[in-house]
Amino acid sequence: MPETSPLELHRAYRRLFETADGRTVMADLERRGCFMRPTYSTDRGRTEFNEGRRSLVLHVKQMLEPENFIEKENNR
């Protein structure tokens, strides 16, 4: 599959997560990804695992923020 430009990838994230199903999936990712709760655990390796999950949620949320791509959109 050919590589997608960052701007097109941003648009794809937005199209996907602006749907009702996308919002449902985002809510699930936020719950599972420790988005609104601490990631610390006394279990060995669990904090790192939780941070990995949280990092993915943060990435998706960044891809949904139009402000992160305004310059790319304007320079298109």
d(CA 63, CA 74): 17
Read off φ and ψ for residue 66, nearest 5 degrees: -60, -30
Question: pLDDT tens digits for 40-49?
Answer: 999 999 999 9
CA end-to-end distance (rounded Å), the chain = 23
pLDDT of residue 76: 60
Overall average pLDDT of the 3-24 stretch: 95
Tens digits of residue pLDDT in 30-75: 999 999 999 999 999 999 999 999 999 999 999 999 888 866 666 6
Domain definitions of the chain by residue range = 6-69
Q: What is the pLDDT of residue 1?
A: 74
